[in-house]
Structure 1
Amino acid sequence: MNAKSVLNKVIFLPNDERLLAVVQVKRRTKKKIPFLATGGPGDYTTFICLSVTNKKPAQVFLTKVKQFEGSSSFVRRSQWTISQLRQVNGIDSVRDCPEFDLIFENGFDQWTAGSAGEKCVFVQVLHHTCQRFIPERKPEFINCHPKLLGGNSILHEAADSVSSAVQKASQALNERGERLGRVEEKTGEMMNSAQHFADTAHKLAMKHKC
C-alpha cells in the first residue's frame, strides 16, 4: 500500500475527509527551533497533504503530516484552510524541478519534493482544487510550467496514455482473433480434405474388392 493510501486510511477517512494529493517533502531552509521545543525525537518524514471534507459545503485543507523514524504511525502537525493560501511558487517555469514554496497569510514554507514528478502532480491538483473551491481571491501560482495550470496537463497526458494502452490492447486482441480465425479456417479446410481423401480411398477399396 502506497503512502497516499495509508495516509487517507489512517488520517483523513476517520475525520470524514478525502485525500486528494500528497507530496513527500524536505525543507530547503531550516526553521529556528526554540530551546526545549516539544515534538517527536529523531529523524522524520514530512508529507504535505491536500484534502477535502465529505460534508457540504466542502472545506479544503493543506495539512502537514509527519512520520517519525522507527514508527509506523502518522502525526498531524500544522493545518491551513485553502483560503489561507496566498501564493504557490513553482520556482522554475521552464524546466521540471522538485522545489516549490507555499506562502500563507501568516507564514511560508520552502520545500523540496522527493522528485520533480511528485511536485508537478501535487501543484497541478492543488491548482485545479483552488479553481474549483475558491470562488474569489484565488492564490497566485507563479513560476509554474504552463502544463500544470491547464492545456496539455499531465493528468490529460496520463489519461491519453491509458487510452492508448487500451487501444493497443484492443488492436492486439483483434489481430489475435483474426489469426485464430485464419487457423480455424485452415483447420476446416484440412479436415474437409482429409474427409474427401478418406471417402475416395474407401470407394477405391470397395471397387477393387468387387
Structure 2
Amino acid sequence: MSIQSVINREIFAPSDQKLLVAIEAKRRNKRKLPFLAAGREGKYKTFICLSATNKPPVQLFITKVKQFEGSPRLIKRSQWNVDQLRQVNGVNPNRDCPEFDLVFDRSLDQWMAASDAEKCMFIQVLYHACQNYWMAKDVQANPGEAGRDPQKPAGPESRKGPAVPRTNFINCQSKLMEDACTMNMVIYRCKIFLNRMKSTMLPPPRPRPAGQAKSGAKSAGVKSRTSSPARPPRGSMKKAVRRASQALGERGDRLWRAEDKTAHMMDSARLFSNTAHKVRTRTV
C-alpha cells in the first residue's frame, strides 16, 4: 500500500475528506526553538498534503503530517485553509527544482520536496484545485457571473458580493499551470515511483564517527590526521583464521566419532534382532 493511501485512510477519511496529493518534504531553513530540548522527538518524515471535503460546500486544506522514525503511526500537526494561502512561490520558473515556498496569512514556510517531480505534481494539483475552488466561491458570491473566466478579475461595478481572496502563484513553470496536461501528471508519478524505489534499494548512509568532528584546521585547508576506522592487524586475522580452522577440525572429529558410535549401535541392534529371532524359532 502506498504512503498516500495510508495517509488518506488514517488522517483524512475519518474527517470525511479525500486526499488529493501528498508529497514528502523538509524545511530549507529549520526553525530554532531554544526552549525545547534538541532532538527530543527524534527523526521524522514530513508530508505536505492537499485535501478536500467530500460534502459541499467544498473546502480545501493544506495539512502537515509527520511520521516518526521507527513508528508506523502518522500524526497530523498543522492545517491551513486555502483561503489563508496567499502565495505559492515555485522559486525557479525556468527549470524543475525541489524548492518551493508557501506564504500564509501569518507564516512563511520554505520547503524542499524529496524530488523535483513531487514538487511539480504538488503545484500542478494545487493550482487546478484552487482554480475550481475560486470559481465556486465566485459563483456563490456573484451568481450572475457564473460564466466569467476566473483568471480575469471583474470590475468593481460588476461585482456584487465581497471580494474573494486569491492565491498568487509566482515563479511557477507554465507547464504546471495553464499549459498543464494529464501526461505531465503521469510522468511525475512515474518519476516519483522510480525515485522511491531507488531510495529503498540504496543502503542508508553510514554515520560519521564522533572523533571526526569539524575543526578550524579543516576549514583552513589543513588535512585531518584522523584515520579511518582501524582495521585489525594481519597477525590477529591469521590467529582468527587458525582458530576457526581448528574449531572446524575438532567439530569434524566429533562428527566422525558420533558416526562410528551410530554404526556400532546399528550392528549391535541387528545382532540382537537376529538372536531374538533364532530363540523364538527354537521355542516354537
**Is TM more than 0.5 here?**
yes
Residue 182 of structure 2 aligns with an amino acid whose one-letter code is L
Is contact 1:51–1:60 with CA below 8 Å preserved after alignment?
Answer: yes
* SS at 1:128 equivalent: helix
Unaligned runs of 5+ in 1: 161-210
Matched residues, number: 159
The 5-angstrom pairing of residues 1-210 of structure 1 reads: 1-36=1-36, 41-134=41-134, 135=137, 136-151=164-179, 153-158=180-185
How far apart are the structure 1 equivalents of 2:186 and 2:76?
33
Tell me which structure has the larger Cα radius of gyration: 2
How far apart are the structure 1 equivalents of 2:107 and 2:53?
24
How far apart are the structure 1 equivalents of 2:132 and 2:96?
25
* SS at 2:25 equivalent: strand
Is contact 1:90–1:101 with CA below 8 Å preserved after alignment?
Answer: yes
Q: State the 1:137 CA deviation.
A: 2.3
How far apart are the structure 2 equivalents of 1:118 and 1:7?
16
Match for residue 144 of structure 2? none
Unaligned runs of 5+ in 2: 138-163, 188-284
* SS at 1:109 equivalent: strand
State the Cα deviation string for residues 136-164 of structure 1 (Å, max 9, x = none): 3210100001001122x25244579xxxx
Is contact 1:16–1:53 with CA below 8 Å preserved after alignment?
Answer: yes
More relative contact order, 1 or 2 (CA 8 Å, 6+ apart): 1
Is contact 2:47–2:64 with CA below 8 Å preserved after alignment?
Answer: yes
- Larger strand fraction of residues: 1
Match for residue 205 of structure 1? none
Residue 38 and residue 16 in structure 1: after superposition, are their counterparts in 2 closer, same or farther (change >3 A)? farther
- Tell me the C-alpha RMSD between the 2 structures: 2.0
* TM-score of the superposed pair, with normalisation by structure 1: 0.71
Residue 82 of structure 2 aligns with an amino acid whose one-letter code is I
Residue 87 and residue 158 in structure 1: after superposition, are their counterparts in 2 closer, same or farther (change >3 A)? closer
Is contact 1:121–1:154 with CA below 8 Å preserved after alignment?
Answer: no
Residue 18 and residue 39 in structure 1: after superposition, are their counterparts in 2 closer, same or farther (change >3 A)? farther
Residue 40 and residue 72 in structure 1: after superposition, are their counterparts in 2 closer, same or farther (change >3 A)? farther
How far apart are the structure 2 equivalents of 1:80 and 1:158?
25
How far apart are the structure 2 equivalents of 1:39 and 1:14?
31
Identical counterparts, % of pairs: 53
